[in-house]
Amino acid sequence: MRAIGTALISGLALASSATLHAQVAGSTLLAVSVAEAREVADGWSAKRQILGHAVFNDQSEKIGAVDDIIISPDKSVTYAIIGAGGFLGVARHDVLIQVNRLKIDGDKLVLPGATKEALKQAPAFEYAR
């Protein structure tokens, strides 16, 4: 029984080393390069800086909150969905805003030129079913 276990372990070790040697180093890159990591570090974090965070106008008035971001078919982040109006979800609707209109000012997410009323009057966004 011990010989079978030893043979099995030896066979697995040989099989795994053969698999490792079958891959060509650098042919499959799963992670980002160091240069790409530096570029990403200068970007925005959807989880830490955008999703669920309040959105202010340039007069520091809270006008909504980011409920979602949309990634287009070409894999670029193009739109943010801002929950506007209402209290505790009543009389509230979602508005689609181009991400390039949003600015980060210190620790605030700002939509310059926007007002709470303008967002309330904007067409409501609804997810496709």
- Give the pLDDT confidence of 9-46 residue by residue, as tens digits: 444 444 444 444 444 555 555 676 777 766 666 666 77
pTM tops 0.75, yes or no: no
101: Cβ–Cβ under 8 A, 6 or more apart, which residues?
Answer: 111, 112
Q: Which CATH number fits domain 45-121: 1.10.150.120, 1.10.3720.10, 2.30.30.240, 3.30.420.130?
A: 2.30.30.240
pLDDT score at 1: 45
Instruction: Round the CA-based radius of gyration of the chain to a whole number and report it.
Output: 25
Listed in order, strand segments (DSSP E) in 46-92 are 54-56, 62-71, 77-84
61-101 residue pLDDT tens: 999 999 999 988 888 888 999 998 766 656 678 999 999 99
As a whole number of angstroms, the distance between CA 124 and CA 117 comes to 13
